[in-house]
Amino acid sequence: MFKSVPGPPAYPIIGNILDIRDEVPIHAMANLADKYGPIFKLILRGKEVYFVSNCQMVGELCDETRFIKIAPDALTKDRPSGPSGLFVARESDPDWGQAHRILMPAFGPLAIGHMFDEMHDIATQLVLKWARKGPENRIPVTDDFTRLTLDTIALCAMDYRFNSFYQDEMHPFVKAMTNSLSARNGPSSLWDVIKTLGGGTSQDLLNDRKLMADVAAQLVKFRREHPSDKKDLLNAMVKGKDPRTGEGMRDELISANMVTFLVAGHETTSGLLSFAFMQLLKNPAAHRAAQSEVDRVIGMAKMRLEHLKDLKYLNAVLRETLRLSPTVPAFVRQVRDENNENPPSIGGYELPRDRKVIALISKSQQDPDVYGDDAKEFKPERMLDEKFEKLPKSAWKPFGTGMRACIGRPFAWQEALLVTALILQNFDLKLDDPSYKPSVKQTLTLKPRGLFIRATLRKGID
Ligand code: HEM
């Protein structure tokens, strides 16, 4: 006998949309989980949506034989016609299979290792900027990390320099991308709620999307007309052949994936870096331990790829940061067609087949049954390799799960380790406002809100 799934009462027409009306909707969802338990349901746009938030149920949801990924509405709603990039495509879409098989080797550790020098180049631009502006400069950390991650993915993916550190005006592509991301933000005002119900898409949003698609198409055309030997993601797509069919990717599909990499590959990593420094500056013992490790492993030398594998504590800092502040705080699943449970269920609760189930990992990654009473505290030690490897698989899922897990994970990890180490090697840091209270901003991803730091160039290391 299955239990019925609890949830707040819904209003006619608007359902439960007001229950998640919050500047940070993911916080409203976590509050509902506190009230209704590890599974609850809401009526959104006329349909039941289920939310699970403990490690055990997220584990069930990650069972690839029973559940499958569904792309979030925010990304699929009113998409223009044409092929889908990896992130939003359905697994059954042949374009997803082809792009996945061609791109997997290009995102492997060896290929990403070859991108080290370019990542280092952009990271050095950030270090030079902070050094030149001096210790009195209030650094808008998140903005600078966004410049950095965008320039890095553009250079490594398609040999294109946005040069964001050298100009005040952002590139039109960046403006269009920023606008379209904020337009997809969750409803925060009553007017937004009404617009959401109306389901309209503004002309501005359509124009922004078109501009992004046009820029990507021009880059693909340019590469076709000016071939190069560069080992970047664009060449992997332009030259690659599907090992299953022997076919190459068509230009439209390449362009759709270029836009995907630029969008998926920068906000997420920029949020990770911003939260990592927020945590280090709020936790002086962890900050000292991280900086000592950098001094021990790299010292004053120029950083090399080989150094990264020895930065064990820094690795744990990044893992613990993504545990407490996953920049993609949730992912969406649905019962697989092949699942012949009758009826399908999760944790003893019945689930309808055609309903979305959201894994609230920002909550499940703080499950006290796994992480104990101090689950909300920042303790990198618990994420050192020997402890990390013993955690249940579903306890840490910031990169999603299964076949549809993040293809960019090795890229993001190398970049984040490199940048964190380079900053700690070169600067002593402090919060601009020592009483800064951690606060979060939610667009498509999560980032710290209002975080400013100061950076003093280190004179030498003992
Ligand atoms: C998928 C997180 C960096 C490209 C995902 C998913 C998550 C995620 C949670 C699965 C989403 C779902 O199931 O709906 C992150 C985080 C990152 C990061 C936390 C950084 C800290 C990157 C980078 C790239 C990238 C750097 C590209 C260079 C993608 C793509 C997918 C994906 C293409 C879709 C894969 C597929 O479905 O085949 N990412 N990501 N991500 N990510 Fe990332």
Q: What sign has the CA pseudo-torsion 428, 433, 434, 440?
A: negative
Residue 42 in 3-state DSSP? strand
Q: Which protein residue has the closest C-alpha to ligand 1 atom 39? A: 406
| The predicted structure's pLDDT at residue 198 | 43
Q: Read off the pLDDT of each residue in 431-445 and give the average, rounded to a whole number.
A: 92
Residue 439 in contact with residue 449, Cβ under 8 Å? yes
Q: Which protein residue has the closest C-alpha to ligand 1 atom 32? A: 406
447 pLDDT more than 70: yes
39 pLDDT more than 70: yes
Query: What is the pTM assigned to this prediction?
Result: 0.94
In the reported structure, the alpha carbon of residue 114 is separated from the centroid of ligand 1 by a whole-number distance in angstroms of 20
Q: Read off the pLDDT of each residue in 428-441 and give the average, rounded to a whole number.
A: 96
What is the C-alpha to C-alpha distance for residues 293 and 289, in angstroms, rounded to an integer? 6
Q: Copy the structure tokens of residue 335.
A: 């019962």
Q: Which segments of 70-161 does DSSP mark as H helices, in order?
A: 73-76, 94-103, 109-113, 116-133, 141-158
- Side by side, which strands form the sheet with 427-431? 139-140, 452-457, 427-431
In the reported structure, the alpha carbon of residue 25 is separated from the centroid of ligand 1 by a whole-number distance in angstroms of 21
Residue 75 in contact with residue 87, Cβ under 8 Å? yes
Out of 75, 148, 268, give the residue to mutate to test ligand 1, the one with the largest number of ligand atoms within 8 Å of its CB.
Answer: 268
In which band, very low, low, confident or very high, does the pLDDT at 459 lie, cut at 50, 70 and 90? confident
Ligand 1, CB cutoff 6 Å, lining residues? 69, 86-87, 100, 153, 260-261, 264-265, 268-269, 272, 327-328, 331, 398-400, 404, 406-408, 411-412
Q: Which protein residue has the closest C-alpha to ligand 1 atom 14? A: 331
| The predicted structure's pLDDT at residue 209 | 85
103: closest CA among 116, 117, 89? 89
Count CB neighbours of 446 within 10 A. 24
The kind and range of the H/E element at 360 are strand 356-360
| The predicted structure's pLDDT at residue 191 | 40
Q: Read off the pLDDT of each residue in 420-429 and give the average, rounded to a whole number.
A: 98
Q: Copy the structure tokens of residue 268.
A: 């997420």
In the reported structure, the alpha carbon of residue 399 is separated from the centroid of ligand 1 by a whole-number distance in angstroms of 6
16 pLDDT more than 50: yes
| The predicted structure's pLDDT at residue 187 | 43
35 pLDDT more than 90: yes
Residue 423 in 3-state DSSP? helix
Q: Could you tell me the CA-to-CA distances from 360 to 247, 346, 401 in Å, in that order? A: 38, 15, 13
* Pairwise pLDDT comparison (251 vs 76), residue with the higher score: 251
In the reported structure, the alpha carbon of residue 348 is separated from the centroid of ligand 1 by a whole-number distance in angstroms of 30
What is the C-alpha to C-alpha distance for residues 22 and 186, in angstroms, rounded to an integer? 8
Q: Which protein residue has the closest C-alpha to ligand 1 atom 43? A: 406
5 pLDDT more than 70: yes
| The predicted structure's pLDDT at residue 336 | 96
Residue 288: CA atoms inside 13 Å, Cβ hemisphere, count?
3
Out of 270, 361, 399, give the residue to mutate to test ligand 1, the one with the largest number of ligand atoms within 8 Å of its CB.
Answer: 399
| The predicted structure's pLDDT at residue 2 | 87
Question: 257-268: string of b/e by CB count within 10 Å (b at 16+)?
Answer: bbbbbbbbbbbb
> Long-range contacts of range 162-168, CB-CB < 8 Å, 24 or more positions apart?
165/125, 165/126, 165/129, 166/125
Question: Do the bridges between strand 47-52 and strand 356-360 make them parallel or antiparallel, or are there none, so unpaired?
Answer: parallel
In which band, very low, low, confident or very high, does the pLDDT at 443 lie, cut at 50, 70 and 90? confident
- My answer on whether omega of the bond before 343 falls inside 30° of 0, hence cis, is yes
Indicate the average pLDDT of the chain.
Answer: 92
* Pairwise pLDDT comparison (376 vs 192), residue with the higher score: 376
Q: Could you tell me the CA-to-CA distances from 462 to 157, 292, 312 in Å, in that order? A: 38, 10, 21
What is the C-alpha to C-alpha distance for residues 329 and 358, in angstroms, rounded to an integer? 10
| The predicted structure's pLDDT at residue 81 | 72
| The predicted structure's pLDDT at residue 184 | 52
199 pLDDT more than 70: no
Q: Copy the structure tokens of residue 379.
A: 């303790």
Residues tagged active-site? 268, 399, 406
Out of 146, 332, 406, give the residue to mutate to test ligand 1, the one with the largest number of ligand atoms within 8 Å of its CB.
Answer: 406
In the reported structure, the alpha carbon of residue 5 is separated from the centroid of ligand 1 by a whole-number distance in angstroms of 30
Q: Which protein residue has the closest C-alpha to ligand 1 atom 10? A: 400
| The predicted structure's pLDDT at residue 77 | 62
Q: What is the pLDDT of residues 117-141, one digit of tens each?
A: 999 999 999 999 999 999 999 999 9
In the reported structure, the alpha carbon of residue 449 is separated from the centroid of ligand 1 by a whole-number distance in angstroms of 22
Q: Read off the pLDDT of each residue in 344-373 and give the average, rounded to a whole number.
A: 96
91-100, 215-224, 331-340, 452-461: range with lowest mean pLDDT: 452-461
Locate the ligand 1 atom nearest the alpha carbon of residue 322 and give its number: 19
Q: Read off the pLDDT of each residue in 305-326 and give the average, rounded to a whole number.
A: 98
Q: What is the pLDDT of residues 242-271, one digit of tens each?
A: 999 999 999 999 999 999 999 898 889 999
| The predicted structure's pLDDT at residue 136 | 96
| The predicted structure's pLDDT at residue 430 | 98
| The predicted structure's pLDDT at residue 201 | 58
What is the C-alpha to C-alpha distance for residues 442 and 205, in angstroms, rounded to an integer? 19
Q: Which protein residue has the closest C-alpha to ligand 1 atom 11? A: 400
189 pLDDT more than 50: no
**ipTM here:** 0.99
Q: What is the pLDDT of residues 137-164, one digit of tens each?
A: 999 999 999 999 999 999 999 999 999 9
